[in-house]
Amino acid sequence: MTDTHVVIVGAGLAGLGAAAACRDAGRRALVLEASGRVGGRAWTDYPAALGGVWFDMGAVWFHDAEHNPMVPIARAAGDTLLRSDEIRQERTFIGGRPATDAELNAYARAWPSYEAKAESILAAEGDVALAEVTRRLPDDPWAATIEAWEGPVICAVDADRFSARDWRRNALGGSNLVPDGGIGAFVQRRLTKGLDIRLNTKVTRVRWGGRNGQVTVETASGSITAEACIVTVSTGVLASGALAFEPALPAKVTDAVHALPMGLAMKVALRAIGTDRLDLPMHCSVDRILERQGEPLMPFQCWPFGRDYVQGWIGGSVAWDLARTGEAAAVDYALSYLRKAFGGRVDRLFAGGASLVTHWDADPLVRGAYCYAIPGSAMARDRLAEPVAGGHLMFAGEACHVGFAGTVAGAWISGQSAAGQALAAIAA
C-alpha cells in the first residue's frame, strides 16, 4: 500500500461519496474497508429463506427523490426506479377491524397538527423529547400512533430519548423510489467506478496532527500516510473505542459522538406456506392505531413486489430487547402482532415457514441502524461535521448530515462535503 492524498476509513455511502469527490478533483484517495463488501448499511442480499429474491437488509428507499443525489445517478445509468408510494397500498387497523374512511381522514389530518404542536413547543421552550409533544396533546387519539411512527419506526429510537428538534430538522418530504434490484446492488454497480477500495482492511488507529497536517492510519497490513483523512464509521463504532485516535480527539468531537447514539431498527420477514394472502393486495403496507403512548408499533409490508412473504419493522428499545433475546423471540413477536389484525389465520399461513431477522445490533462494524440526537443536542450533527486539524481530519456519514440524516443520501452528501474541506486543507 502506498501513500495517498486522502485516506478514507469506510466504504459505506459516505466513504464512496468522499472518494468520488477526490477522484473528480484529480486527487488520489484510498478507501480502507474492514468488511468484505462496499455499501455499509446499504446491503442487498439474496436470502434462501425468502426464495433467493433480492432483499435489502438495511436501507431501502431513495427518500425525497426530487432532491436525492442518487436519483440522477440512477437515471443517467438507465436504472429502473420503482415508485414505492404509487405501487404501495395502505391498510390501517383499529383493533381487529380496518379503519373507516372517516377515521382515516382524521388520522391524516392529525399529522400536520402534531407537527405544528412540535414547532410551537420548540419555538417557545427550546428542544424537548419528542414524547413531550404527545403529552401536550392528551385529547388527540392519533398522537400516540404518530409518535410511534416518527420515533421508533422511522428514527429507530423511543420518543422519550429523542430530540424533537433533531426530528424536525430531518423531516423528509417528496416521493420515495426503490432501485430495482436493491439499493446495495445499486451502490456496488454504480458508485465504485474508478475508486481505489481495499476490502478486508480494518483500520485500528488514526494518528493525526502530523507535520503539515499529515495523518497516518494503521492497519494489520501496514500503515498509510496521507495529507488528510476522512473517517466515515458510525457513531456506534466511534463511541466504542474500537478505532483509536492519537492524540485523543477534541472534546467537541467526543461530546458530539456521545450525543448521537445508535438507534436500532429490526426487520422480521415471514414467508407464507399457503396461498392465503390475508385479503390484502400485493405490496400492501399495514399499520394499526395505538391505544396509548409508548405502545409498540410494528408496521408490515405485505407481499412486496408480489412476493410470498411479509416483512415487519420494529425499532427502538423493543428492537434492542428482541435482539438480545434472539431470533425466535423476534419471529414470535411479529406473529403476535399480526394476530391482532388477522387472528388465527396468521398461524395457519406462517407456522413452520422460513423467516429472516436482521442483526445490525450484532455487527461490530456498525453497532446499530443509524444514530439519533438526544434531547438538547440537536446541533451535534453540525459539530461532528466540523473540520479537525484545519480540515486534515474530517468525519462524515449519516450522523453528520442535517436534512437527510439516517439515509444513504445524507451519508453520500456528507462524504462529498468532507472531501471538499479536506482537499481545501491540502491545497492551503
**pLDDT at residue 2 greater than cutoff 60:** no
Asked which of 318, 337, 362 is the last residue of a domain, the reply is 362
Residue pLDDT, tens place only, 323-356: 999 999 999 999 999 999 999 999 999 988 999 9
159 and 283, same domain (yes or no): yes
Segments forming the whole domain that contains residue 112 = 85-175+263-362
252 and 267, same domain (yes or no): no
Q: Is 369 part of a structural domain of the chain? A: no
The letter for the amino acid at 226 is: A
355 and 389, same domain (yes or no): no
28 and 161, same domain (yes or no): no
Is pTM beyond 0.95? Reply is yes
Q: Is 20 part of a structural domain of the chain? A: yes
Q: Give pLDDT, residue 192.
A: 98
31 and 134, same domain (yes or no): no
382 and 233, same domain (yes or no): yes
Average pLDDT score over residue span 213-231: 96
- Whose CA is closest to 7, among 197, 242, 192? 197
Provide the number of structural domains found in the chain. Answer: 2
The answer to whether 310 touches 303, Cβ cutoff 8 Å, is yes
163 and 267, same domain (yes or no): yes
165 and 306, same domain (yes or no): yes
Q: How does residue 116 score in pLDDT terms, banded at 50, 70 and 90?
A: very high
Q: Is 200 part of a structural domain of the chain? A: yes
Average pLDDT score over residue span 178-197: 97
**pLDDT at residue 20 greater than cutoff 90:** yes
18 and 144, same domain (yes or no): no
Residue pLDDT, tens place only, 141-158: 999 999 999 999 999 999
User: Dmax over Cα atoms in the chain, in whole Å?
Assistant: 69
What cell does 312 get? 415487519
Q: Up-side HSE of residue 235: CA atoms within 13 Å toward CB?
A: 30
Q: Is 401 part of a structural domain of the chain? A: yes
Dihedral angle, C-alpha 63, 30, 260, 421, nearest 10 °: -80
Return the CATH number at 357: 3.90.660.10
168 and 272, same domain (yes or no): yes
Q: Is 57 part of a structural domain of the chain? A: no
C-alpha 125: how far from chain center: 29
Average pLDDT score over residue span 306-325: 98
Return the CATH number at 420: 3.50.50.60
**pLDDT at residue 393 greater than cutoff 90:** yes
**pLDDT at residue 300 greater than cutoff 90:** yes
**pLDDT at residue 1 greater than cutoff 90:** no
171 and 290, same domain (yes or no): yes
Q: Is 300 part of a structural domain of the chain? A: yes
**pLDDT at residue 51 greater than cutoff 60:** yes
Residue pLDDT, tens place only, 355-382: 999 999 999 999 999 999 999 999 999 9
Q: Give pLDDT, residue 95.
A: 87
171 and 267, same domain (yes or no): yes
Q: Mean pLDDT in the chain? A: 97
